[in-house]
Structure 1
């Protein structure tokens, strides 16, 4: 599954630093982890299990900055299935 523009807008925002954010998107459960700057860097999307994990897909984000701190690479990559009891 490719991430669509609406979901990328949600993931393009800044959130609390180093936190797991639970939400939903178009009937699917999403959980994402933020880095020390509050940028989402790890995404689980699918259906939440009874134990609180996500059964679905896992994505990782690559954020690269130049010396001035400007982002020159921002890419989400599918890393495979997410099927674990917790994140």
Structure 2
């Protein structure tokens, strides 16, 4: 599974630092963890079960910055299924 442009719009926003954010997008439940700058870095995308865990796919973000804080590399990688 690849992340679409609409999901990337949600993930390119800045949120509260070092938190887990949950929301829905179309037929998917999303849960993502943010870093100390409030950028999403870990994403769980799928359907929430009765215990609140998301069963679906897990994605990890690679962010590389230069010394001035400018983003050099921004890439989401599918790490397999999340259960």
Q: TM-score, normalised by structure 1?
A: 0.93
Q: Which ranges of 4 or more aligned residues in structure 1 deviate by more than 2 Å?
A: none
Cα distance in 2 between the residues matched to 1:64 and 1:43:
18
Cα distance in 1 between the residues matched to 2:35 and 2:80:
21
Cα distance in 2 between the residues matched to 1:18 and 1:74:
19
1:66-81 superposed matches below 5 A:
66-81=66-81
Residue ranges of structure 2 left out of the alignment (5+ in a row) = none
- Equivalent pairs counted in the alignment come to 83
Q: TM-score, normalised by structure 2?
A: 0.98
Residue ranges of structure 1 left out of the alignment (5+ in a row) = none
